[in-house]
Structure 1
Amino acid sequence: MKSIRTELAIINGIRFILVTPHSSNTDKYPLYCIEYFYNGKQFKVKEGIKAIYNQYLEQVKDLKSINKKLVLLRNSFEFRITELVKPISVSQSSTDSKLTIQTKVIEALSKFFEYHTKRHEIGEIKDIYNYTERDKKVTTFINKHFPNHLLSDLSTTVWIDYRSYLKKWGLGNSTVNLQMVYVKGFYIWLSQIMELPITNHASKLKKLDITLQIPKYNEIKQSLFLEFFNVVNTKRYLRLHLMARLVAENTLRPIQVLNIKVKHVDLQDHSIVVFDAKGKKWRRVIMSSIVNGLIQSIYENTTNAGRTIDDEDYIIGFFNQTKQRKIFTQTMFRERILLPFKEDFPQFANILIYDFKHTSITKALKVNSVYDVQKRAGHSKVTTTQIYDRSDSVSEAITVEELILIK
């Protein structure tokens, strides 16, 4: 590890990062700078940063509290951040003023997506894929049915029509609800960030009842399940094999696997620490010996390619696919790995990576208690696990005589 990256501030959606050399850095002229992204470009401000940082080190050399050190660090660079923000604020205000209540809805949606794209560029959000898909659906609808609508023309009726439009596509209630969350986010952005006087029409619509639809899960047939793991058991499909194993064996979500870094993996202990975004907590999972071996193979390929293994590297992606410390996104995984694989093996065309999680839970419920499966699946509620229980609702009686024996 050559550098330490410390977040100094987030202002107007722009993240300012202090970059200083790590103690193991042996460079003759190590990097000291403030780094930030703006308008799709990376900026590095070096002037005076080293001197300020050295003054800070003198201030905290006898201080033990990490939190107090961080506060002093941010205070030390506060004036420098203020200087950087001033020209950015002027530029932003002139751009933002172009958006008014008389702007076309389709243009406002385009600016809303640009806003999320910038958030992604500065690292505020990890994956832009979901935003891209939701933007595509809503802009297609507006272009088709309300191409000339202004923001002032929006009403609840527009979004009732949008929900009906999505249902005609055959989307489930939960998916439609997520689309409407995107629309509500659009209104929040208009009113709170762009400061336009607009009523949130979408908030007046109740959520569609997800209990009225059949739970969506796809249990992979036994023959295809077996064939898949036979096919991917080669060097060519190393990443796909690792992804599918972790999803099937540890019932991780694909996005959780993509977010696993080297520092989260303990090969000696055969364990991985993963973050559950839904439960908002970290948990430890024990990996199989095969998964352990697959990760070791990825490490070996990386070192053989002449690249050092960094604690902040992601285990999916890595040596010849991504830059150091850059995540291998869902879009990249689908386009570079999954789609080419399905073209070569069309028998797996209808199988999703997520289906391995569904199949694993469904099969496990046939031989384990629902509470054991719940823990492995990381479900916060046992009712979520019970959705996957495909067994018949038949139970045997406990006789009075047997109950008497229980003390």
Structure 2
Amino acid sequence: MAVGLGPLPTLHPVPGFELGIASAGIKRPGRKDVVVMRCAEGSTVAGVFTLNAFCAAPVILAKKRVLGPVRYLLTNTGNANAGTGEPGLAAAARTCAKLAELAGVDETAVLPFSTGVIGEPLPVEKIEAALPAALADLSEGNWAAAATGIMTTDTLPKGASRQFEHDGVAITVTGISKGAGMIKPNMATMLGYIATDAKVAQGVLQDLLRDAANKSFNRITIDGDTSTNDCCMLIATGKAGLPEITQASGPLFAALKQAVLDVSMELAQAIVRDGEGATKFVTVQVNGGATHQECLDVGYAVAHSPLIKTALFASDPNWGRILAAVGRAGVPKLDVSKIDVYLGEVCIASRGGRAASYTEDQGAAVMAREEIGIRIELGRGTCSETIWTTDLSHEYVKINAEYRT
């Protein structure tokens, strides 16, 4: 069940960036599970990648190649090519080499991405066989089809798009993402691709993506699991015909930064809304921290608590579970007498105990909503952080118990 997530919005084509989709039948016959993306010559590319020590073979290869001239991105679903050792690296390189051969580019100009089951050999032959069809399908208008092509346990495709004008020239930022489980990114998201027709120097583009990821993809969690395959890419084709952005300042950079952040935020929140088995979309806001890190520590302690997440699923205003999570977050010298906790607009706890004005009916009314806010006022400083998460339902257990079948 996707909470508040409907059909894809209009995804504006990005001049100089094409997408093609084909079927390799990796998990089931006929499934569109291979996506090829072509970047115009001269494009700059930035990437953020998982910090999981068991990172997948395609992640290792993409990290090595992202700074060079990049022309193609190759994504397969149904197989993560993670936990596969040297054979997995060879398999990832082989698929890139085949695409490079077909496209007439150097194999180092191809970046691989995979998502799916961990620990199984990559079906190289199936992917290679699908590449000609994917190349033949390349089009700037294929964003929606590609959003479906990169899905695994997602119930709906995820995309976002923004346009703005600078000196009378239209600039487009469009992106897609996938992810519904194994979500607690430590860089970006499961898989995300964002493109713009602005011209941006690689160093500026990398900093822009890292900042956007930290404010969006790095603030979501479904189950506290950081994937082996997390990647998010930002491509600037330079086809808009404006001067190159060479520094992080000026009105053009500011407008592009806001558009990239808006797209990243929409994609990140869509992942949470489509969380495996999710019935609630939950915003955890922590204010008044002495540091941003302690706000994050408190926020994630609440967002990851199985007791809180199951109470959310049951619409049970068991506010004691929230207090317990805040208390064990590891914040040094935490003075609970200064802490206030809110469910939506309702103060449920104040000065270390139940708020005098609180009633169970008030809490139950908030918990019955599909979208719930939990706000924690620490009373220690001026820092704030916001995290987005889900409840934990019977369906989440079922999906993951049956994932390999």
TM score, norm. by length of structure 1: 0.25
Compare CA radii of gyration and give the structure with the larger one.
1
Larger relative CO (CA 8 A, sep 6+): 1 or 2?
2
- TM-score normalised to the size of structure 2? 0.25
Structure with the largest fraction of helix: 1
